Structure 1
């Protein structure tokens, strides 16, 4: 019996790419992998015609060949590999359609080649034989097979088998298609999964009818294959799917994989289907979207009961078929002979409720809006070129699913109905990255410990397969390990102080799966007006699991209202404050009151403070513009606040901001066609400052000359630009001087108050001869009129000779040069720091009045930026030349005084000698007779003459 049911719940998956490195191992086999199972830390793999036994690390332990070469269309391969009642059941194709079963007793198995294998055959066909469910308690299994009746026709059957004495015997069998018109091809039926629930068998099948339409059905069957228990309903997933650019309505009608599990930690169970939207004539290899849809089993049972009740009790069939009399179709208990029922099915199949292939009776589809899966930041679904595979496992009372795509993406999904389910994408390499051919999946299993997942993929063209193993419960992945946000996106992981781990692996008691310690890396801006309104942007590491009401930001004690939140950025708006201050920026992810003292764990501080300031305009450059050319000029306004939003108005007209450099704003001057003074308004966030008469619209300035037009080339020398209205040109003007292909920039200072001149300083030029130069005015903020070309003559400044002192004046002369009169204002002469006044410039010399200086001091000569110092020694020589007459008079006076004094001393001494004893004879001249002490010191000229001292022979 059949009806439709629409999934009421679709899992929302949050995908975060994580690179798996050391947790993934690979093993390559020389043949495509068909099936594989895990038992007692061993992996049994059916690949081609061989059975492989692998260690848990995927190295090959041994292998055995099960089949020989075959010429049939269904090439030699292992079709069935199933663990059943401590037995390994292996079915391989033989002799064009026969499936040969091999029975390996795992309890006794040591080596594959040493074990005697039981073998029997069942009829098979193009479709691979599948064991879709089993009951180990009574040694019974249900096998899906297809019987080839013609070259283009296969009849799908379900066979109910029982294992007795080492062989399977068929209890019953039923055809899944009962259409009597054999001229039509039978529909394709694929069994996606099978499971047992409350004593009943359920299958998920995908049926493609004769018109190419696809249906996904959930089929219920009694464990004893009683036909009264057969009921089927159609299931779909529909709703709105949002992408970054569009929103569309979709209907997922085709299941590609499934798993059966609990609803989170609840006792209720559900069937989880990975579904896609199938359309006829679509390209089979393009990227398709897949969603995971969850169907509660109790809801499925209720719908099936309604289907049966509507069919047999509400007049769809006038009377109940006689073979169903006494049958309790809800409990699958039959009082009729089983073979009688099967016989009646083939005779009166058209009257059997719910057993039509392409429809049935029952309730219409239940329309419920599905939730889109979220991958990264986009509302989208899993996308892949081929259907993904899925397996489920239990972890800490939670149902988790592993979904793998052919592109190498692995999604770990938490199946939870109580909230929007989410998952983590664990990226790993896939054969699709290295193979240019078309790979396909052979299956996925979770080991008995539920710690590892095994994925098999093959490439039929190249003829090899690969088996991969990775951890199902690992949190120590490359992107999780250092990122709390990535860690919390994983449904089984949490943050353990400084690392990502499962709750059991965290031993410090700091494990959290809800919040992360926030990290503030950058805050901008760091100032704003006291009027408030500044949008503060905090950049760093935050968690997207919080809404704006969960986050609190403070500037000192002032709360900043949060306006937007995402994983990397939080924005808040500053309120008004009465006065300027600087406050610490505090962030908290905890709910609480508005008092910052309540901040506990989950908070962060920024190392710089936010400053509330009074808004002000520091400068306006230029402060005027010519009315004729104002629309093509810019103005720069410097303020003291950066803020988050800035506007400028001149004469109540918007000045469009062209560039922002910290507190310097550049905007385009609005055109005004009248000479006027305007207010300049600066609006920063909610702050406003008005500079009255801050800008003027004026007439154009005019330059008509240069004074002097002769200057030196080897020194920095001043000159003036002459004109009218020059005070509107701003404080600084740059000039380009072009001389003999040399271009130098000169700087001009602020114009005179009357606007008739601007003082400038030329640049040094490497010229030795007199040269004409042309001056180009550059970077003028307003339009400028130059009536005549501005020319200036450069010449080498003359060299000075040593200065001379002459009549209280210092004279500087030049070497064969004339000093232009235009240099006068740039010459400065100082003696011992005193200015030499009244400088006079003649053709070949320069003279200045010498001040009254009584000591010898240095002389300093300055012209432009050049200076020359004459030493003190040179200065003293100059002074002596002027004083020679005075010195001569002094010398003559000293000599005259010395002569007079000597004459007087001689006369007095001579008189004293005459009083001495007179000498009578020559004996008196005998010094031996005269005591030496009497004459020592008393010899004079008379005595010498008397004794003939200078005439002795």
Structure 2
């Protein structure tokens, strides 16, 4: 009997304990983005997949398979040039026809480059033209010309179906190329040609191209010339066709020209990483060349510690160089001045033993000043070797500091053996996402990055007009963003960059002009909402801890909880803050006396109310001795 009574007492005590289900439900506002929202924006749809895009004097030039388009700023087509499909006698230079082939071959646009010195012109370099580029004269000083009006093979004594291009006129590779025009008093093309083992040769050409080179335009404007045999470097014969080297991005900053590559770590490994290559733009030959490994890393905290797990993003997907500008936050992040160049680089984690990326990305940002300081430090410390893929040697090779200090810097071709690692700038929002393109522009004192993804989405990070390039389309997007409708909650709306000009109106995120004049539009406050209070009852006397669930308690645009903004009353009595986990949970303690049943939260100037708090006197009978205890 005693055991039975104890069991009854235990059951009663359990029944009077706070419910195990008394916790705040996950906020319904956790979903911040509705990626299904669509906007009607100016769009140009090409007939074939788009591969490159450049602008000159406000005109947009688009390189696609078999087409070059000239578009107005509003994406209206001005003119087009058919680059393919081409028969053998239509390609630049003499091409041997493939047996049994009577139809044309698709011409992929490898590179699209503009020029400003002699005439305003465009170079379109296709996969079927034996590595030769075609020159489109756009303005000869007398009149503007359509993209298809004056076009010729830019190679000496080479015409469609006739002639053999000389070495210097063979510019691009079917495996992919980065071509950069660095103009001074002459036009100089810096070219990196990718080497992809077992890659299909699009054009069927067996011509061997230089891996990295620089060439200048002839004053006769009928082709290019190399200054000497030192104007190019090639993979050593044993690696040709057996070594992965992909040129991803090229740019010019200060006195240097840079390439970013993805390549094998060494000849004996199937590990891959990213390198940054630096050359002197003023050199007539490749006289001062150095490359250095580059990694983007992510940790759980912004400051790296040895005990933390480090995620390495090793495969570069896209990059963009821009000025720091007057974005104070970016200046602080990269420790750079307003007029300095910074590199935004989108990386992915690579598949094991493969240069192919996984859908997990991060963006790292670093100043060119920092990169050059790293080059200088490692070169001075002799953390350098010969680049084996170009020299066949891996011996330690040191930069001659003595000659450099005398202003007689000698020739060097070096590979830094140390990694340059940077903490990611953005990562948490790019999990399960493969970033494939990045464009960065300054807007109203902030730096805006636009990321294109493998599934055709674009993501705007704080922030006029931007052109989004997809496989078949170009879309014109305002730099402030296409709209606010994808932000589905008040908090996500108000926490978006001020550049987007979004605010909260009648339960949706809009711009001010889209909010009815009779409604309130706010960029500062979100109305608090109470969804649950527990316990739902308490004793008449004594201290009671009350947890209030909801959202937007003490919310401000810094996303920090501000106690000074919040006032809580339970049944007419003040409730003092015990702890506050986030803007969706508030725990307070109060001594309550019967004065209604209302729970009220005031956040800033807006109030949320919920009926339902009760006062009770609880008795617990202990059956054996019939005592009654009042619970408080």
TM-score by length of 2: 0.69
Is structure 2 residue 127 aligned with structure 1 residue 111?
Answer: no
SS in 1 for 2:380: helix
Equivalents in 1 of 2:409, 2:593: separation in Å? 90
Distance 2:551 2:384 in 1: 66
1:275-286 alignment runs, 5 A limit: 275-281=347-353, 284=356
SS, match of residue 492 in structure 1: helix
* 1:616 match: 617
**8 Å Cα contact 1:104-1:118 kept in structure 2:** no
- Determine which of 269, 274, 288 is the counterpart of 1:216: 274
Aligned partner (choices 97, 103, 107) of residue 130 of structure 2: 97
Q: Measured at CA, do residues 553 and 371 of structure 1 come closer, stay the same or move farther in structure 2, by a change above 3 Å?
A: farther
Question: In the TM superposition, what is the alpha-carbon distance from 1:405 to its structure 2 partner?
Answer: 1.0
Q: CA deviation at 1:557?
A: 6.4
Cα distance change of structure 1 residues 188 and 111 upon mapping to structure 2, 3 Å threshold: same
Distance 1:166 1:297, change over 3 A: same
Match of 1:28 among 34, 38, 45: 45
Distance 1:649 1:299, change over 3 A: farther
| Deviations 1:474-531, CA, capped at 9 Å, x for gaps | 363323487353242346235557486789999x9x9986x42333254535754453
Is 1:49 aligned to residue 58 of structure 2? Answer: no
| Match 2:260 to one of 200, 204, 215 | 204
| 1:471 equivalent in alignment to 2:478 | yes
Partner SS, residue 98 of structure 1: coil
Q: Secondary structure at the match of 1:81?
A: strand
Q: CA deviation at 1:553?
A: 2.8
Per the alignment, do residues 236 and 512 of structure 1 end up closer, same or farther by CA in structure 2, a change over 3 Å counting?
farther
Number of the residue aligned with 2:243: 187
**Aligned counterpart in structure 2 of residue 229 of structure 1, from 288, 291, 304:** 288
Consecutive unaligned residues of structure 1, counting only runs of 5 or more, are 1-13, 342-351, 376-380, 416-449, 458-464, 589-601, 618-647, 652-674, 683-687, 690-953
The residue correspondences of 1:678-757 to structure 2 (distance < 5 A) are 678-679=626-627, 688=631
User: Out of 445, 449, 454, which is 1:401 matched to?
Assistant: 449
C-alpha distance in 2 between matches for 1:90 and 1:318: 38
Cα distance, 1:305 vs structure 2: 0.6
* Alpha-carbon distance change, 146 to 481 in structure 1, aligned in 2, over 3 angstroms: closer
Does structure 2 conserve the Cα–Cα contact (< 8 Å) formed by 1:21 and 1:477? Answer: no
- Aligned partner of 1:260 in structure 2 is 321
CA distance in 2, matches of 1:298, 1:401: 21
Return closer, same or farther for 1:304/1:228 CA change in 2, 3 Å cut-off.
Answer: farther
CA distance in 1, matches of 2:573, 2:491: 29
Give the TM-score of the pair, scaled to structure 1.
Answer: 0.48
2:546 aligned with 1:546: no
Unaligned runs of at least 5 residues, structure 2:
1-30, 89-96, 99-103, 156-164, 196-200, 302-307, 332-337, 386-394
C-alpha distance 603-164 of structure 1, shift in aligned 2 (>3 A): farther
Q: CA deviation at 1:309?
A: 1.3
**SS in structure 1 at match of 2:146:** coil
Within the alignment, does 1:392 sit opposite 2:440 as a pair?
A: yes
The CA distance in 1 between the partners of 2:396 and 2:546, in whole Å, is 72
d(CA) in 2 for partners of 1:146, 1:313: 24
SS in structure 2 at match of 1:573: strand
Once the two structures are superposed, the pairs formed by residues 198-597 of structure 1 within 5 Å of their partners are 198-208=254-264, 209-210=266-267, 211-225=269-283, 227-240=286-299, 249-263=310-324, 264-265=327-328, 266=331, 267=338, 268-281=340-353, 284=356, 287-311=358-382, 326-327=403-404, 352=412, 354-355=414-415, 360-361=416-417, 364-365=418-419, 373-375=427-429, 381-384=430-433, 387-414=435-462, 450-457=464-471, 465-474=472-481, 476-480=483-487, 483=490, 485-490=492-497, 492-494=499-501, 496=503, 498=505, 515-520=524-529, 522=531, 524=533, 528-529=538-539, 530-541=541-552, 543=555, 545-547=559-561, 549=563, 551-555=565-569, 558-561=574-577, 563-566=579-582, 569-577=584-592, 580=595, 585-588=600-603
Deviations along 1:709-768, one digit per CA (max 9) or x if unpaired, are xxxxxxxxxxxxxxxxxxxxxxxxxxxxxxxxxxxxxxxxxxxxxxxxxxxxxxxxxxxx
**Partners of 2:287 and 2:413 within 8 A in 1:** no
SS in 2 for 1:473: coil
CA distance in 2, matches of 1:283, 1:320: 31
Shift, 1:289, TM fit? 0.7
- Displacement, 1:391? 1.1
Does the aligned pair in 2 maintain the 1:127–1:146 contact within 8 Å? yes
In the superposition, relative to structure 1, how do residues 372 and 335 fare at CA in structure 2: closer, same or farther (>3 Å)?
A: closer
- The change in CA–CA distance for 1:278 and 1:496 in structure 2 (over 3 A counts) is closer
Deviation at 1:472?
A: 2.6
Deviation at 1:75, TM superposition (A): 4.6
**Against the structure 1 CA distance between its residues 129 and 204, is the aligned structure 2 distance closer, same or farther, given a 3 Å change threshold?**
closer
Contact 1:159–1:170 under 8 Å retained in 2 = no
- In the superposition, relative to structure 1, how do residues 205 and 230 fare at CA in structure 2: closer, same or farther (>3 Å)? same
2:345·2:364 contact (CA, 8 Å) conserved in 1? yes
Counterpart of 2:373 in 1: which secondary structure? helix
Distance 1:317 1:550, change over 3 A: same
Whole-Å Cα distance in 2 between the matches of residues 145 and 500 of structure 1?
47
Compute the displacement of 1:317 (Å): 6.4
2:112 is the alignment partner of 1:81: yes
Contact 1:193 1:203 in 2 (8 A): yes
Alpha-carbon distance between aligned partners in 1 of 2:105 and 2:314, rounded to the nearest angstrom: 30
Equivalences, count: 521
Q: Secondary structure at the match of 1:203?
A: strand
- Change beyond 3 A, Cα 1:566–1:313: closer
Measure how far apart 1:605 and its partner are: 1.2
- Alignment CA distance shift 1:557-1:365 (3 Å): farther
Deviation at 1:143, TM superposition (A): 2.6
Give the secondary-structure state (helix, strand or coil) at the position aligned to 2:123: strand
What is the CA distance between 1:395 and its match in structure 2? 0.8
Report if aligned partners of 1:403, 1:412 keep a CA contact under 8 Å in 2.
yes
Distance 2:605 2:150 in 1: 66
Native 8 Å contact 1:47 1:78 kept in 2:
yes
Provide the alpha-carbon RMSD of the alignment.
4.4
Query: Structure 1 residues 483, 411: closer, same or farther in 2, change over 3 A?
Result: same
> CA deviation digits over 1:20-41, x for unaligned, max 9?
4234444432222222234455
Q: How many angstroms does 1:57 deviate by?
A: 4.3
Distance 2:145 2:205 in 1: 43
Q: Output one character per residue of 1:292-351: Cα deviation in whole Å (capped at 9) or x when no partner.
A: 11223222111111122123999x969878xx984569xxx7677xxxx6xxxxxxxxxx
Q: Distance in 2 between matches of 1:198 and 1:395?
A: 23
8 Å CA contact 1:51, 1:64 repeated in 2: yes
Shift of 1:291: 0.7
In structure 1, the residue matched to 2:191 is: 143
Is the CA contact 2:192–2:259 (under 8 Å) kept in the aligned structure 1? no
Map 1:595-614 → 2, pairs under 5 A: 602-608=604-610, 614=615
CA distance in 2, matches of 1:368, 1:681: 64
Deviations 1:223-259 (CA, angstroms, capped at 9, x unpaired): 12364532222111234359xxxx9542222211111
Residues of 2 paired with 1:573 and 1:50: CA distance? Answer: 68
Residues 111 and 680 of structure 1: CA distance in aligned 2, closer, same or farther (over 3 Å): farther
Shift in Å, 1:403: 0.7
The alignment status of 1:134 with 2:177, answered yes or no, reads no
